[in-house]
Structure 1
Amino acid sequence: MKIILASQSPRRKEILEEIGYQFEVIPSYTQEYFDPSLPLEKAIQQVAYQKAADVHMKYPDDLVIGADTIVSFQNKIYGKPKDEQEAFSFLRDFSGKYQEVMTGICFLYKERELCHTDITKVWFRDLSDEEIWDYIHTHNALDKAGAYGIQDSDFISHIEGSMTNVVGLGKESIVEMMKKISG
């Protein structure tokens, strides 16, 4: 079975490589639609499905993996910040609190469909404005949902759930879904 990752994310690619899968990267360029009327867990799965379906139409006999990640805090969605000021605002909001990182994952293989949402709670310690600006100026905060990458931030006090989910794909879920879809 040929596996295709419908994502340009270098972090998702690394996670699949760490698991040991052989796969090809063919990004989806579909116009994503996030349905605000759905519960967040379902809406993020729907976006992952859209990405997978876009590539699956061209490769219907292959297993296509689509994924999308958001950060949710106090019923608000935090995607990638549009500028440094918004990144600062995101990180200031998270200071001393926790947010939920949700990754919708969708596998499409021939006529089969399997979708799932991983949710990880991430707690921040209290942050000074100086620490936040230092992080923004030394890391690519604009390229990450919620303006941070867990792999390169020292202001996380602890997490509850999958660490790799916060990076972009929960390893545990990917392995379990692979067993189900190919079995």
Structure 2
Amino acid sequence: MKPFILASGSPRRKELLEQAHIPFSIQTSTIEETVEEGLAPAEVVQQLAKQKAEDVWSTHQESIVLGSDTVVAFGEQLLGKPKDEGEARATLQMLSGQTHSVYTGVAICSAEGTITFYEKTDVEFYPLTDDEISMYIRSHEPFDKAGSYGIQGFGAFMVKRIVGDYFAVVGLPLARTIRELKKFGIVPTL
């Protein structure tokens, strides 16, 4: 089996690949991420995932490299990680009682070529009170997460329903990723 590298410092992606029993190492991409104007969210996450994977692969060409990126979209608005408490509060107020979409893109690079794919999951929030939003912000969980929340942590209390892949919301569509990695000879080892 060729060496397999995760081109991400995300602890959530690391945990998901460990859960899948796939041996890997981590090499974080240092590329300055750029996105073309006017792209749909699905195209944005695939483009960013590909940039990360290709950046790491360029110095590890004997390996299989996986890059991934996640964005939260509310209508046409992309919601990244909040810059501060005010932005986190505004985002959570906007998502309160509403349905938004989470897009996670994946790129797998090897000497044989690159594949990209994405998963879209719709997430509906319960209506949130100002006190609930303040409590969540005090947890500090919103600050390193797209859309200002983490479904796998304390933020789960806000989620009424999801339609799609839960793991894609966490940061990596695990079942699809395992199937795609198999094409590159990367398989779970038990």
TM-score (norm 2): 0.93
Matches within 5 A, 1:93-108: 93-108=94-109
- Supply the distance in 2 between the matched residues of 1:102 and 1:87 (Cα, whole angstroms): 19
State the 1:61 CA deviation: 1.5
Contact 1:36 1:43 in 2 (8 A): no
Contact 2:4 2:25 in 1 (8 A): yes
For residue 179 of structure 1, the aligned residue among 176, 179, 182 is 182
For residue 85 of structure 1, what is the amino acid of its counterpart?
G
- Supply the distance in 2 between the matched residues of 1:32 and 1:137 (Cα, whole angstroms): 30
Contact 2:165 2:173 in 1 (8 A): yes
State the 1:138 CA deviation: 1.2
Unaligned runs of 5+ in 1: none
Report the counterpart of residue 123 of structure 1 in structure 2. 124
* 3-state DSSP of counterpart to 2:86: helix
For residue 69 of structure 1, what is the amino acid of its counterpart?
T
Q: Deviations over 1:16-42 (max 9, x none)?
A: 000000000000010001222222211
For residue 3 of structure 1, what is the amino acid of its counterpart?
F
* 3-state DSSP of counterpart to 2:183: helix
Considering only aligned residues, what root-mean-square deviation do their CA atoms show, in Å? 1.1
**23-32 or 40-49, which moves further after superposition?**
40-49
Q: Deviations over 1:52-78 (max 9, x none)?
A: 011000001100000111000011000
State the 1:111 CA deviation: 2.9
For residue 169 of structure 2, the aligned residue among 166, 169, 173 is 166
For residue 162 of structure 2, what is the amino acid of its counterpart?
I
State the 1:43 CA deviation: 1.9
For residue 56 of structure 1, what is the amino acid of its counterpart?
W
TM-score (norm 1): 0.97
Q: Percent identity?
A: 39
1:83 lines up with 2:84 in the alignment? yes
Report the counterpart of residue 148 of structure 1 in structure 2. 149
Unaligned runs of 5+ in 2: none
For residue 179 of structure 2, what is the amino acid of its counterpart?
E
* 3-state DSSP of counterpart to 2:122: strand
- Supply the distance in 2 between the matched residues of 1:177 and 1:108 (Cα, whole angstroms): 11
**53-62 or 39-48, which moves further after superposition?**
39-48
1:23 lines up with 2:29 in the alignment? no
State the 1:182 CA deviation: 3.2
* 3-state DSSP of counterpart to 1:15: helix
* 3-state DSSP of counterpart to 1:81: coil
Between the two proteins, the alignment pairs up a number of residues equal to 183
Report the counterpart of residue 44 of structure 2 in structure 1. 43
